[in-house]
Chains A and B, each alone.
Chain A
Amino acid sequence: MSFANLRQISVHYDENTVQNMLSMLKHAPIPSQAPIDAKAPWSLGMDYDYLLFLKQKFETEWKWERVEAEINSFNNFMVDYTTGEDSLQLHFVHQKSKRADAIPLLIIHGWPGTFLDFRKVIEPLTNPPSSDLPAFHVVAPSLPGYFMSTISRRDGWNLTDTAKLMNGLMTEWLGYKKYVGQGGDWGAIIMRIMSSLYADSMAAVHFNMFRSFLPDDTDKSKFSKIEKFVLARRDEFTSTGFGYNVIQTTKPFTIGLAIASSPLAILSYIGEKLYCWSDPDRVDPQDILDTVALYFLSGCFASSVVIYSQSSKQRTEVNLPPKDGLWPVKTRSFGFSSFPYEVGGSAKAPLEAYGNLAFYKEHEHGGHFPALDNAAEFVEDLREYFGANF
């Protein structure tokens, strides 16, 4: 495995490119009303009125310059990565703290997120308002196939390969012999693998998604309000929110190339997830538009769904009962933050079978992208957990 050719970059898209996207959006066919009148909003997928609202906002208010400036307020890098059969280019943000005691933190997004999911938390984490609070050196990569990170051509690159890449990035390239990890969505699954394989480097790991195994006959009556809510969300996700997963796992090229062909298609397809997986009282439409723009402008949508076809086995493995022991959490401890609108959440007790659960906190607000819809409490949790467990 080797890293080479590190370069700091600025992210930039031409005005023409951005205007072309908005023009495609404006001229895309969209029906004049919802296909039919859904009995309840969102019950048949993307809410038509909300889609119109997003589209309108995108066409009239939204500005790429703001997003570009925000991205470039961080230190963005590209590095070439080569190993045996694979070569790719990795994009990552590396924001160092001025504090000598800062904790190196690897924080990984999922789908349909991006590295920019962490835009609201990078600064508070690297620069806390008080010297009593932990500080962090934050490393926020784009997963292979997302944004500017390219993907291995090999049909067979899986999460173990990604985990190896990420651990190598931290320990070999950036020189962080000990670091902590945080993940949601694919990031959480990768953290399961890393916390199993690289516990000698990874001192602590935090999750906001953890689909712990729950036997069917579990007595849920004693669960807290948030635990019940979270488990109901999980069930709903499995029964009515899983279609994207099946099609992306089995036909990634079809859905990838189709949706990538139109900004309105991306807006509808991932907009539905960005909204429905978030706290409806907290979700910011601007975050949705920014994410959609990154997917379209970088042309990464088709490669972003490949992970489903390459890694479904490991995804299933991490969800097995802990006694089947495929990916135990071997770090000295782990932490979990329970945000109510998460779709792959957990009650507290089932987590304890996976490793040493040193931190568990329930929240009243926030969803699957807590760094976006409940940034303040997300930051607090990381400070509290990592501060005590690094």
Chain B
Amino acid sequence: MSFSNLQRISIHYDEAVVQNMIAMIKHAPFPSRAPIDAKEPWTLGIDYDYLRELKHKFETDWQWARLESEINRFDNHLVEYSTSEGDQLELHFIHQRSNRADAIPLILLHGWPGLFADFRKVIEPLVNPSSPEVPAFHVVVPSLPGFFKSTLPRREGWNLFDIAKLFNSLMTDLLGYKEYAGQGGDWGSMIARIMSNKYPESLTAVHFNMFIATPSGNLSELSESQLRLLQRSKHIGETGAGYRNIQKTKPFTIGIAIASSPLAILTYIGEKFHDWSDPARVDPQDTIDIAALYFLSGSFATSVVIYSQTPKDAHKIYDTIDLLNLQVKSKAFGFSAFPYEISVGLKDSIAPFGNLTFYKEHQGGGHFPALDSPNELIGDLREFFGKKLD
């Protein structure tokens, strides 16, 4: 992997482009009521009233200028890179350095339908804690290839191992962090897991808020909270996995279709943001911000390709390497259990995969903890990484 042409960039979209998006939302066909009267809200997909409010907020309250300045408070970069397979690609990432000499380099990895901006509430506190007693971090937040401004190779076959290699190179080669820490959820958690398996001498401490492990052990002896995690995961699997099937098998169909309409993006990912988050904490503005970034960057269609590039079984990366069996070889391995996470990580089920030295359950929060529970996530990262890299 070789990097070239590193540039600092500002993220900017013209007013005309933003207004066009808003106009499209305003004029998109939208029924005056739900298709039918669902017996219970959210049981047939996105709740109509919730969507109508999101749409209304997008059209009236929401301002791109606020989001643009928020994103540009951070140091955004674009770098070109080429791989040994001959791909010529671009990677977008935030690189926020701390003033602290003892700051820990930390890469934060998003997933779908998230974006780098998922982490915008945690970057500053992590980089600049208010007390010298508390660990500080140099924070790196890349956009996964296919998301926002990070490009995808044209060829089929680019997969999570390639991304893991890319991100490790980003940290060690481009940015010069020979040892670093990592954190991931959703696709980010699988990438972090591969990195912890392939590059443990570099990724020395790794934290997850999602960790796929088949529930094992005596499930009848689970604590109430662990049992709730299990039931939640089962429920999501039974009622919320359609997106994964269609994105895995027909990414072009769904990708191009949804990308064609900001209301389609708002609806499609709005349902996931609500269903996968803590309903008491999910902020509609976060959902609208992410929908806007997908639409403005034109990256929705490429964002779903990742689902099709893992072989038939979504958890197998290659036929011979099963992600479910991938060991975490980093010296330290930590997990934060948020109750509304969609994929269960029971303590006894994930502990066999590495040196699990940190497992904390929370009372609230979901699949996007950096958005709906930033203080808890920050607290966990400080506690886990601060301890481990002394």
B254 contacts A45, C-beta separation under 8 Å: yes
Please measure, in the bound complex, the distance between the C-alpha atom of A242 and the C-alpha atom of B242, giving whole angstroms: 9
Shortest beta-carbon distance from B275 to chain A in Å: 9
Most buried by A among B241, B246, B250, B257: B257
**Is A148 an interface position by the 8 A CB rule?**
no
A36 contacts B45, C-beta separation under 8 Å: no
Question: Contacts A46-B250, A243-B246, A243-B248 hold; do A261 and B30 have CB atoms under 8 A apart?
Answer: yes
Which of B155, B245, B263, B301 is A261 in contact with, Cβ under 8 Å? B263
Please measure, in the bound complex, the distance between the C-alpha atom of A243 and the C-alpha atom of B243, giving whole angstroms: 7
**Is B247 an interface position by the 8 A CB rule?**
yes
Question: Contacts A31-B256, A39-B156 hold; do A252 and B35 have CB atoms under 8 A apart?
Answer: yes
**Is B152 an interface position by the 8 A CB rule?**
yes
B264 contacts A30, C-beta separation under 8 Å: no
B298 contacts A35, C-beta separation under 8 Å: no
Which residues on the B side are within 8 Å of A306 (C-beta)?
35-36, 44
* Residue interface bits B255-299, CB-to-A below 8 A is 1, else 0: 111111101110110010000000000000000000000010010
Shortest beta-carbon distance from A153 to chain B in Å: 5
Q: Closest residue to B300 on the A side, CB-wise? A: A29
Which of A203-211, A263-271, A348-356, A366-374 lies at the binding interface?
A263-271
B250 contacts A257, C-beta separation under 8 Å: no
A243 contacts B242, C-beta separation under 8 Å: yes
Question: Contacts A35-B305, A242-B245 hold; do A253 and B44 have CB atoms under 8 A apart?
Answer: yes
Shortest beta-carbon distance from A235 to chain B in Å: 13
A151 contacts B247, C-beta separation under 8 Å: no
Which residues on the B side are within 8 Å of A247 (C-beta)?
242-243, 245-246
Q: Closest residue to B51 on the A side, CB-wise? A: A257
**Is A219 an interface position by the 8 A CB rule?**
no
Q: Closest residue to B272 on the A side, CB-wise? A: A254
A265 contacts B247, C-beta separation under 8 Å: no
Please measure, in the bound complex, the distance between the C-alpha atom of A145 and the C-alpha atom of B36, giving whole angstroms: 10
Which residues on the A side are within 8 Å of B29 (C-beta)?
260-261, 296, 299
Which of B246, B248, B308 is A244 in contact with, Cβ under 8 Å? B246
Interface residues of A in 258-284 (CB under 8 A from B): 258-262, 264-266, 268-269, 272
**Is A388 an interface position by the 8 A CB rule?**
no
Please measure, in the bound complex, the distance between the C-alpha atom of A249 and the C-alpha atom of B263, giving whole angstroms: 21
Please measure, in the bound complex, the distance between the C-alpha atom of A34 and the C-alpha atom of B267, giving whole angstroms: 23
Which residues on the A side are within 8 Å of B246 (C-beta)?
243-244, 246-247
Which residues on the A side are within 8 Å of B263 (C-beta)?
257-258, 261-262
Is the interface on chain A under 10, 10 to 19, 20 to 34, or 35 or more residues? 35 or more
Interface residues of A in 28-49 (CB under 8 A from B): 28-31, 34-39, 44-48
* Residue interface bits A298-315, CB-to-B below 8 A is 1, else 0: 010011001001000000
Most buried by B among A35, A156, A265: A35
Shortest beta-carbon distance from A135 to chain B in Å: 39
Question: Contacts A31-B259, A46-B256, A246-B241 hold; do A272 and B152 have CB atoms under 8 A apart?
Answer: no
B30 contacts A257, C-beta separation under 8 Å: yes
Please measure, in the bound complex, the distance between the C-alpha atom of A248 and the C-alpha atom of B248, giving whole angstroms: 16
Shortest beta-carbon distance from B216 to chain A in Å: 27
B46 contacts A251, C-beta separation under 8 Å: yes
Number of B interface residues, CB 8 Å? 60
Please measure, in the bound complex, the distance between the C-alpha atom of A253 and the C-alpha atom of B242, giving whole angstroms: 13
Shortest beta-carbon distance from B86 to chain A in Å: 13
Which residues on the B side are within 8 Å of A153 (C-beta)?
36-37
Q: Closest residue to A25 on the B side, CB-wise? A: B260
**Is B387 an interface position by the 8 A CB rule?**
no
**Is B314 an interface position by the 8 A CB rule?**
no
* Residue interface bits A148-191, CB-to-B below 8 A is 1, else 0: 00011111110000000000000000000000000000000000
Please measure, in the bound complex, the distance between the C-alpha atom of A357 and the C-alpha atom of B146, giving whole angstroms: 52
Which of A30, A151, A272 is B36 in contact with, Cβ under 8 Å? A151
**Is A326 an interface position by the 8 A CB rule?**
no
Shortest beta-carbon distance from B34 to chain A in Å: 7
Interface residues of A in 282-328 (CB under 8 A from B): 296, 299, 302-303, 306, 309
**Is B154 an interface position by the 8 A CB rule?**
yes
**Is A256 an interface position by the 8 A CB rule?**
yes
Q: Closest residue to A20 on the B side, CB-wise? A: B27
Which of B31, B265, B295, B305 is A302 in contact with, Cβ under 8 Å? B31
Please measure, in the bound complex, the distance between the C-alpha atom of A255 and the C-alpha atom of B29, giving whole angstroms: 14
**Is A131 an interface position by the 8 A CB rule?**
no
Please measure, in the bound complex, the distance between the C-alpha atom of A34 and the C-alpha atom of B295, giving whole angstroms: 17
Which residues on the B side are within 8 Å of A253 (C-beta)?
34-35, 38, 44-48
Which residues on the B side are within 8 Å of A34 (C-beta)?
252
A262 contacts B249, C-beta separation under 8 Å: no
**Is B239 an interface position by the 8 A CB rule?**
yes
**Is B9 an interface position by the 8 A CB rule?**
no
Please measure, in the bound complex, the distance between the C-alpha atom of A254 and the C-alpha atom of B240, giving whole angstroms: 11
Which of B43, B51, B252 is A48 in contact with, Cβ under 8 Å? B252
Question: Contacts A29-B259, A261-B29, A265-B261 hold; do A38 and B36 have CB atoms under 8 A apart?
Answer: no
Shortest beta-carbon distance from B338 to chain A in Å: 22
Shortest beta-carbon distance from A128 to chain B in Å: 40
**Is A241 an interface position by the 8 A CB rule?**
yes
**Is A379 an interface position by the 8 A CB rule?**
no
A262 contacts B28, C-beta separation under 8 Å: yes
**Is A60 an interface position by the 8 A CB rule?**
no
Shortest beta-carbon distance from A389 to chain B in Å: 38
Shortest beta-carbon distance from B249 to chain A in Å: 5
Shortest beta-carbon distance from B22 to chain A in Å: 14
Q: Closest residue to A28 on the B side, CB-wise? A: B260
Please measure, in the bound complex, the distance between the C-alpha atom of A48 and the C-alpha atom of B39, giving whole angstroms: 39
Which residues on the A side are within 8 Å of B240 (C-beta)?
250-251
**Is A240 an interface position by the 8 A CB rule?**
yes
Which of A37, A48, A251, A259 is B155 in contact with, Cβ under 8 Å? A37
Please measure, in the bound complex, the distance between the C-alpha atom of A265 and the C-alpha atom of B239, giving whole angstroms: 23
Which residues on the B side are within 8 Å of A30 (C-beta)?
256, 259-260
B261 contacts A246, C-beta separation under 8 Å: no
Question: Contacts A28-B260, A30-B256, A261-B28 hold; do A45 and B250 have CB atoms under 8 A apart?
Answer: yes
Q: Closest residue to B267 on the A side, CB-wise? A: A258
Question: Contacts A35-B255, A243-B249, A246-B242 hold; do A44 and B308 have CB atoms under 8 A apart?
Answer: yes
**Is A51 an interface position by the 8 A CB rule?**
yes
Q: Closest residue to B158 on the A side, CB-wise? A: A36
The 8 A-B pairs at the shortest CB distance, nearest first, are namely A243-B246, A247-B242, A45-B250, A251-B45, A254-B45, A45-B253, A253-B45, A262-B261
Q: Chain B residues in contact with chain A, CB under 8 A?
A: 27-31, 34-39, 43-48, 51, 146, 152-156, 158, 239-243, 245-261, 263-265, 267-268, 271, 295, 298, 301-302, 305, 308, 312
**Could you list some 22 contacts between A and B, CB below 8 A?**
A29-B259, A36-B153, A36-B155, A37-B155, A151-B35, A153-B37, A154-B36, A243-B245, A243-B247, A243-B249, A246-B246, A250-B240, A250-B242, A251-B46, A253-B44, A254-B267, A261-B261, A261-B267, A268-B256, A269-B254, A302-B35, A309-B44
